[in-house]
């Protein structure tokens, strides 16, 4: 009887330890999934994607957009007949993005701005909003996409060093609209001109072709989600020279417009001469 009792005790202990181990493993796995779900807000979505919060609610993780992207007719190499990698990937464990959702990495494969935007047409859930990439004629227009916004890091862009480079400019599908070159005198040499890339946020689609083309070791021009790439002045600032922006505030009289904050409640001498910080 003692041997039977010891055997039962050992089985009980083994079962208990296994249960504890499985519970701990489950906790680790869930923790890892939670980290993946919340990681990297700097993710670029396909054309027409809803705002990130709404996109994550609407996306059913079916992968049809990714399939449409890689299987598009323009993705076949005309010389070799081989299929090139698609722009869109479906996030998996380790990508630090919500698993099963589509994204792209411009430095690897940018968006090639397909006229028919097959990824949007393939989406069954509305996570990729066709209306947002449709023009006034009712036609799909990839130029209306706002996947992100290209940002130039001046300290690492060799054009800002004075070296002649226009790789990003020439790669831009909306050349001289989304990306222009600003010609400035190079005072260091006194002979040459700077050809400085300038991104225009109202036109840039965030396709990433400029980032892919950048010749530096780590791209000096790169695409970020627009909400992270752009600042915001605030609705209380008005462009007086812009008729549409002026209409936004109506016929308010300038002498009746007041902005009250912590600084305006103090006399100028308080923050100018006494170095009070806010």
Tell me the per-residue pLDDT of 188-237, one tens digit each, with 9 for 90 and over. 777 778 899 999 999 999 999 999 999 999 999 999 999 999 998 888 78
Establish if 163 belongs to a structural domain.
yes
pLDDT above 70 (res 131): yes
Asked if 148 contacts 48 with a C-beta cutoff of 8 angstroms, the reply is: no
What's the whole-number mean pLDDT along residues 143-154?
97
Question: Is the domain of 166 the same as that of 116?
Answer: no
Tell me the per-residue pLDDT of 175-195, one tens digit each, with 9 for 90 and over. 999 999 999 988 777 777 889
Question: Is the domain of 92 the same as that of 158?
Answer: no
What is residue 167's three-state secondary structure?
A: helix
Task: Please give the sequence-ordered ranges of beta strands (E in DSSP) within 89-225, or none if there are none.
Answer: 89-90, 102-103, 149-152, 179-185, 193-199, 221-224
**Residue at a domain's end among 146, 169, 197:** 146
Task: Give the whole-angstrom CA distance, residue 65 versus residue 232.
Answer: 32
- Find the domain containing 33 and state its range: 27-146
Query: Considering the entire predicted model, what is its pTM?
Result: 0.75
Establish if 55 belongs to a structural domain.
yes
Residues 6+ away with beta carbon under 8 Å from 247: none
CA 37 to chain centre: 17
Tell me the per-residue pLDDT of 241-258, one tens digit each, with 9 for 90 and over. 888 888 877 766 655 656
Structure tokens given for 102: 């589509």
């Amino acid at each position: 009887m003692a041997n039977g009792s010891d055997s039962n005790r050992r089985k009980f202990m083994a079962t208990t330890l296994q249960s504890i181990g499985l519970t701990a493993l489950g906790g680790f796995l869930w923790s890892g999934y939670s980290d993946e779900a919340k990681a990297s807000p700097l993710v670029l979505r396909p054309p027409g994607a809803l705002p990130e919060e709404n996109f994550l609610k609407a996306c059913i993780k079916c992968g049809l957009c990714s399939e449409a992207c890689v299987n598009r007719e323009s993705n076949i190499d005309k010389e070799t007949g081989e299929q090139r990698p698609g722009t869109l990937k479906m996030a998996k464990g380790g990508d630090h993005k919500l698993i099963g959702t589509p994204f792209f990495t411009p430095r690897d494969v940018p968006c090639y701005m397909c006229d028919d935007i097959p990824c949007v047409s393939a989406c069954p859930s509305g996570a990729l909003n066709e209306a947002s990439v449709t023009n006034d004629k009712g036609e799909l227009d990839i130029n209306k996409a706002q996947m992100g916004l290209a940002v130039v890091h001046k300290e690492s862009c060799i054009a800002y060093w004075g070296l002649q480079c226009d790789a990003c400019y020439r790669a831009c599908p909306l050349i001289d609209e989304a990306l222009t070159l600003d010609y400035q005198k190079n005072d260091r040499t006194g002979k040459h001109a700077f050809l400085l890339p300038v991104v225009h946020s109202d036109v840039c689609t965030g396709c990433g072709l400029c980032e892919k083309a950048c010749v530096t070791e780590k791209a000096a021009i790169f695409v970020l989600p627009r909400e992270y790439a752009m600042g915001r002045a605030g609705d209380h600032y008005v462009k007086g020279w812009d008729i549409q922006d002026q209409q936004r505030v109506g016929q308010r009289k300038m002498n009746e417009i007041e902005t009250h904050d912590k600084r305006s409640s103090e006399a100028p001498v308080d923050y100018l001469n006494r170095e009070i910080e806010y």
